[in-house]
Amino acid sequence: MTTDGLTYAGRLSDFAAGTCHRVRAGGRTLVLIRNGDGVYALDNRCPHMGFPLDRGSVDDGILTCHWHHARFDVTTGGTFDLWADDVPAFPTTVVDGDVWVDLRNGRDELAHHRRRLRAGLEQNLSLVIAKAAVSLVEGGADPREPFRIGLEFGTRYQSDGWGPGLTVLTCMMNLLPHLPPEQHARALFHGLSNVAGDSSGSPPKFEVGPLPDAPADPSTLKRWFRRFVDVRDATGAERCLLTAVQAGLDQAAIADMLFAAATDHRYLSNGHVLDFTNKALEALDIAGWDLAETVIGSLARGYADAGRMEESNAWRRPIDLVEILETTFEDLPDILAADIKPTQWDGRADLIDTVLGEDPQAIADALTDALRQGADPVELADAVTQAAITRVARFHVTNEFGDWDRALHTLSFANAVRGGLVRSGSRELVRGIYDAAMSVYLDRFLNVPPARLPSANGHTSGAELLALLPDLLDRQQQVDEAAGLVVDYRATTAPVEALLESIGGNLLREDRDFHTIQAVEASIHQANLSDDPADATLALVAGARYLAAHAPTVRSQGQTFQIAQRLQRGERLFEEAPA
């Protein structure tokens, strides 16, 4: 019975003081609690995992759920345990001994779940993050909104700056166009949880601030930034970056500053510095460049603290790759400044073969010759990336398992070089093409012997093939089988979009692995860029092989997400035992 917006809930005399009573009113199940002189109505579903709160107990105005012992203020529904959530509370009125409840909930649900997402990030609470991601995305929020919240949090509350968590978050956003809408919340959950894990226990990143009233001279700021990175001065480097942002330098000029310093030394931190930079810039493209100060500033420490491959034995002995590169780089400024008429460069296949070869001097010479012939640096970077794809696609499983990561580092770096050149046309970044090629050369032992590339075996149904992929990934080390499935699928007339969706969806089934996520995202990106169907297929073979090598995981994170999704949809996790 409803009158003037109030719903009848029972007689006051029916509710003993200090006890919990389940009541159905207006299509909702409530718990009514008589405490002191008042009677209070809360939703009967514990917001943590759905246990019925009428099975709980009340003491001193605090309701305790008996499943995980979450505690709530009976008057407001507010929780004392952030891993739970506030219980929706409804005003009550007593008229002539009758209890009436106002079920009109005025809470802004999207605003509430934004707050919960921030709490989950702050406390590193995976279930809270999952519930917020599901509620926001399925509640109609643009996925960029939770992404932006995670980006702001991760750049402010991680003293070491940009790291794997923010990279994973950006990779997941890049994968969203290749996933069905029902997978978007799950992808965001993976990225956001990774950000929370990276920041957990870390002190916040304190603001350094730009130089006061500094002139916006791009060449000076670029020169200073490179100087401070060279002497490993993170604070000086960060102030240069923040000054550039606040002074209004355009995006290309800021990217040019970063890419120059990222390639002043060889293959910084196994390629992570340039890869992180590329992902940070992609993140700003998605979330908005109004976050540039915190995002760009978060990169500085990684530059200053990075390992430099000129300090590495592998790059110095038995062949001094650094000497080859430094000698080659002496000619680059003149080559890049020369008025060379662009040509239809046709040396891609030969260059890939050379990069995959045994002679580092020949590799450097081939790249330089291509530039002199008028090849666009982006074309060269794309060819080197395809060579890096080949290393992963032909990685033999007799190698040490950890060597998958070595091949992946080269691929991620090469992919970042290509992306950076498209973004800024930085002349200094051209050096990154050579660094990537030398890393491909150093990885040559990973293809000794090279894994056999499968041939199509006549399958005609793409849908049937995709149905087999989850079963393959339920078994360990189905590397060649996964590659064969991709090749078979590509030989059908089925759309490539369905294959990308399947690979991405199966990635989300697994527990997060930084390198696996990088591998799948990079392979899908390279496949989308390729005009050559064979090259695109090889890229997808590489991604599928890497995923299969690292599956199955425990998949505990998938269970957490499924719990959140079921709760958001009103499903019951707790069931009474049959009488």
Q: What is the pLDDT of residues 219-259, one digit of tens each?
A: 999 999 999 999 999 999 999 999 999 999 999 999 999 99
Task: Please give the pLDDT value at position 579.
Answer: 43
DSSP state of 52: B
Residue 215: Cβ within 10 Å count: 9
Of 319, 294, 327, which is closest to residue 162 (Cα–Cα)?
Answer: 294
Q: What is the largest CA-CA distance in the chain?
A: 95
- Which amino acid is it at 28? R
- Distance separating alpha carbons of residues 380 and 347, to the nearest angstrom: 9
pLDDT in tens, 434-466: 999 999 999 999 999 999 999 998 888 999 999
DSSP state of 246: H
DSSP state of 79: B
- Distance separating alpha carbons of residues 372 and 388, to the nearest angstrom: 23
Average pLDDT, the chain: 94
Task: Please give the pLDDT value at position 575.
Answer: 61
Q: Is the pLDDT of residue 16 over 60?
A: yes
DSSP state of 325: H
Q: Where are the domains of the chain?
A: 2-102, 109-199, 462-558
How far is C-alpha 75 from the geometric centre of its chain's CA atoms? 40
- Distance separating alpha carbons of residues 471 and 150, to the nearest angstrom: 33
pLDDT in tens, 91-135: 999 999 999 999 987 788 999 999 999 999 999 999 999 999 999
Give 317's pLDDT tier (boundaries 50, 70, 90). Answer: very high
Which residues have a Cβ under 8 Å from the Cβ of 404 and sit 6 or more positions away? Answer: 392, 395, 515, 546, 549, 550
Q: What token pair was written down for 166?
A: 């923010």
Give 18's pLDDT tier (boundaries 50, 70, 90). Answer: confident
Of 106, 108, 111, 110, which is closest to residue 5 (Cα–Cα)?
Answer: 106
pLDDT in tens, 299-316: 999 999 999 999 999 999
Give 468's pLDDT tier (boundaries 50, 70, 90). Answer: very high
Residue 188: Cβ within 10 Å count: 29
Q: Is the pLDDT of residue 360 over 90?
A: yes
Residue carrying the six token digits 């978060």: 298
Residue carrying the six token digits 């700056």: 161
Give 410's pLDDT tier (boundaries 50, 70, 90). Answer: very high
Q: Is the pLDDT of residue 576 over 60?
A: no
- Distance separating alpha carbons of residues 228 and 304, to the nearest angstrom: 8
pLDDT in tens, 525-542: 999 999 999 999 999 999
Q: Are 151 and 169 in contact (CB under 8 A)?
A: yes
How far is C-alpha 366 from the geometric centre of its chain's CA atoms? 35
- Distance separating alpha carbons of residues 505 and 563, to the nearest angstrom: 18
What's 510-535 look like in SS3?
CCCCHHHHHHHHHHHHHHHHCCCHHH
Give 572's pLDDT tier (boundaries 50, 70, 90). Answer: confident
Task: Please give the pLDDT value at position 151.
Answer: 98
Percent of the chain at pLDDT above 90?
88
- Distance separating alpha carbons of residues 80 and 115, to the nearest angstrom: 15
Measure the N-to-C terminal CA separation of the chain; round to a whole number of Å.
32
Q: Is the pLDDT of residue 567 over 50?
A: yes
Q: What token pair was written down for 63?
A: 């309701």
CATH number of 2-102: 2.102.10.10
Cis geometry, peptide bond prior to residue 377 (ω within 30 degrees of 0): no
Half-sphere exposure (Cβ direction) of 171: Cα atoms closer than 13 Å? 31
- Distance separating alpha carbons of residues 568 and 113, to the nearest angstrom: 11
What is the SS3 assignment for 240? helix
